[in-house]
Amino acid sequence: MRIWIFFLLAGLAGAAVRIEVKPGDEVAAALGKAREVRKQQPEETIELVFADGVHRLTAPLVLTPEDSGTAKGPLRLVAAEGAKPVISGGRVIGGWQVDDAGVWHAKVDGPAFEQLWVNGRRAVRSREPDTGFFRMKAVKEEKVDGGARQSVTLEGEALKRVRDLKGEALAKVQILAYHKWDNTRRFIESVHETGFGTRGDAMKSWNPWDTKSGLVLENLEMGFDEPGEWFLAPGGVLHYRPLPGEVPASSEVVAPVATQFLKIEGRPDAKVKHVEIRGLAFRHAGWICPPGGFEPSQAAAPIEAVVQVDHAEGIVIADCEIGHTGLYGVWFRDGCRGCRVEKSLLHDLGAGGVRFGAMAMKRDTGGNVMEDCIFRDGGKVFPCAVGVWIGHSGDNTVLHNSISHFPYTGVSVGWRWGYEESEAKRNRIEANHIHHIGNGLLSDMGGIYTLGPSEGTVLRGNRIHDIVSYDYGGWGLYNDEGSTGILLESNLVYRTTTGGYHQHYGKENIIRNNIFAFARDHQLQFTRPEDHLSFRFTVNIVLWDKGRLWSGGGQGNGKFEIDRNLYWTADPGGVNSFGRPLAKWREAGHDLNSVVADPGFVDPAKGDFRFKDPAVAAKIGFTPFDFAAAGVRGDAGWKAKAAEVPAGW
């Protein structure tokens, strides 16, 4: 290994100690050299400069407090000028043989893997059905020592795929269950005449498997039947069915070795400080299902990230790419403050994008920023993961990002079901473009979803559309259990399944100056009335072509303010709230000053909600806002990157 060290004269512009890292060098050794230099020159900027090419890891790099820089002399991991280095946690698979049917085969030694990438595309692990999922016909559960056994009854094609499984083939098959907002991943314990049995935790009473639950069978040999699929057979023979035009000689097939790229491990009494990561691409990190599987957890919350950060300050990730993973992208978990993720692409993710804070209180994470990033195409291993997740953490900013193509929620804020203490205060979720969420796979989701007391939190200027749930609960803005003290202002929400806005139950939330349009089932929803003021819904514009204006379990009861709004509908039933026509609704004291008139948008059916003339909206005091400003800023190339559509959507 050759590591070159350049000592530039202190005091000159750009003065730094530069350690050049070439492909084939041990990156961990380069970090060790940087640590030695830091001891001798604690105030200097130290740069690990990565040359063009692929730098391979078999285990994550680890930064500790001894690697810390200073505000004027940070530790920087950067790309060489003009270079596009890739840090890969994968190994290239070669030695392919092609049979008469065109299927590729290779003997693979070393550790097993559950993800595979071919020519930069995540190949599909053999599965049935090829798209969507089977439905469970019936589910029975019995308690056993340490957990429960579920017996699932199947029919039709699903039963055919399971009934003849046995031996090693059976042992390798995984089931992925879709139930409401959760997923469960398990191995099959036994097969019976009408289905299969599996063992794990008891089902949760509020979200059990039932006849609406979906089921996918993975790593199934008889499911290896479509171009782009792969199957790793017992004994280590890898089979791949190529897409049209793919040939082994010009293809790169990569299997993951590492599960994470970078771990920043500070301590409560000694944080890792002032580290910058710029211009690097991190690709190919996997996840192996443990023998006990993955039990359901909202947002796949226990799953770590490929860049895992604890007890750190002043960490900057900028102009980077993180992709082809089995886990979340980045998680600033415990004790993280003043950290930033800027203008970075996170894509093809096993779980979600970026996370701030923990699931437990008193972990002291807050005041972090993510802006101008692209988070796209996640949930590949954990469909219930979210694009951006904020737990017990306050004063964070999520600004001008593009968040799209996740099977569950776009942004989730808060981690308290009900009104007990929460630390998710004063978070700003502003000017993000959040779209194509759900894809009809899960339920009970939001473009932006909130939980628990969140006083001072602001959701403003976001453009949210195409939120498609499997069953109920595809909302644009969703104040779930205990959401309190949140301002939802100047957002554009359109093309959702069950409403532009929903409050399950909450306290003193303000929904004003928003545009809601073209929800499928009903436009707005309110579920649980309580003795306190639940929300104020004022100065909003709602445009729709069918169904009720308001719906939900509250049936119009409770304490809330709904007034000074502008409504327009093509539905022959007119403006109907909780089954009451507008005249009856007004008799109850609601919408007394609201207006029914065409707001005069330019072309709302095509997503153009500019006003031809703002005079009608001015009657309710509506303030126009620039919805086109939502999403990433930057040059035309970066904006074009944000507009790309991943395969399968």
pTM (predicted TM-score)? 0.97
Do 567 and 595 touch, CB atoms closer than 8 A? yes
How far apart CA 413 and CA 428 sit, in angstroms, is 10
- In angstroms, the CA 642 to CA 524 distance is 29
Beta strand 541-544 with 566-569: parallel, antiparallel or unpaired? Answer: parallel
pLDDT of residue 15: 66
Q: What pLDDT score does 3 carry?
A: 47
Give the model's pLDDT for residue 261: 98
Q: Quick one: pLDDT at residue 235? A: 87
Q: For each successive 10 residues of the chain (649 residues), what is the average pLDDT?
A: 48 71 96 95 96 98 98 97 98 98 96 96 97 97 94 96 90 96 97 96 97 97 96 94 98 98 98 98 98 97 98 98 98 98 98 98 97 98 98 98 98 98 98 98 98 98 98 98 98 98 98 98 97 98 97 94 97 95 97 98 98 97 98 98 92
How far apart (Å, rounded) are the C-alpha atoms in residues 350 and 100?
34
Distances (CA, A) of 179 to 86, 169, 211, 344: 37, 26, 10, 32
pLDDT at 234: 87
State the amino acid at position 519 in one-letter form: A
Six-digit token string for 110: 């070393």
pLDDT of residue 5: 54
Q: How many residues does the chain have?
A: 649
pLDDT at 6: 53
Token pair belonging to 514: 């928003």
Question: Assign residue 311 a region: left if phi > 0, alpha if psi is -120 to 50, beta otherwise?
Answer: left
Residue type, 418: G
How high is the pLDDT of residue 146?
Answer: 86
d(CA 497, CA 447) in angstroms, rounded, equals 11
Q: Contact 5/29 with Cβ under 8 angstroms? A: no
Q: How far apart are CA 281 and CA 53, in angstroms?
A: 10
pLDDT digits (tens, 9 = 90+) for 371-425: 999 999 999 999 999 999 999 999 999 999 999 999 999 999 999 999 999 999 9
> What is the Cα–Cα distance from 171 to 165, expressed in whole angstroms?
9
Strand extents, DSSP E, 443-514: 445-450, 458-460, 463-467, 474-479, 483-484, 487-489, 492-496, 501-503, 506-507, 509-512
How far does Cα 458 stand from its chain's mean position? 20
CA-to-CA dists, residue 123 to 231, 576, 646, angstroms: 10, 48, 13
